[in-house]
A and B are shown apart, each in its own frame.
Chain A
Amino acid sequence: VIEAAVRGVSQAQAEDLDVVDVDQLEKVLPQL
């Protein structure tokens, strides 16, 4: 859970966003 959340945050930050939405989670899902 923590890993998924942290990866989602990392992706959002890479996109310069302050919200993690499913769009960001989708991108980290394959590697997760």
Chain B
Amino acid sequence: KDGLLSEEEFNLWNRLYRLGDSDTVKGVALPRSHFLSLQEDRVAQEPTTGIHQLSLSEWSVWQDHPLPTHQVEHSDRCHHFISIMQMIEGMRHEEDECSYELKIKPFLQMEDVY
């Protein structure tokens, strides 16, 4: 009723889901992101023992197409990422000439740039 776990629910969570000192992996953390191009004061982060640092790039091989979903669709951001990964794959073995550049250059008009 107060939005917190009941005693029964707490015991269930504690037993089945809670990570603690007895677990090898005591927690997970997403690497903190910061801007390289803005002058930011950053505190160097020491990886804590037992805290598993999640990787954003480990599964990129699988991220070149939308995987099946259930009840919700992929977000715009997700589709954006996938399309760039596909684009990169398409350009990976290009040498010298860039197909994207060749395709888009005919449309360049300097008044649009200004």
Contacts and interface: CB of A to CB of B under 8 A. Distances in A.
Interface string A1-32: 01100110010000000000011011101110
Which secondary structure dominates where chain B touches chain A? loop
Interface residues of B, number: 14
Interface stretch (B11-19, B33-41, B102-110): B33-41
A25 B85 CA distance: 10
Contacts, number: 32
A27 B36 contact: no
Nearest to B56: A30
23 contacts: A3-B35, A3-B37, A6-B36, A7-B36, A10-B36, A22-B88, A22-B91, A23-B92, A26-B60, A26-B88, A27-B57, A29-B57, A29-B81, A29-B84, A29-B85, A29-B88, A30-B56, A30-B57, A30-B60, A30-B81, A31-B33, A31-B56, A31-B57
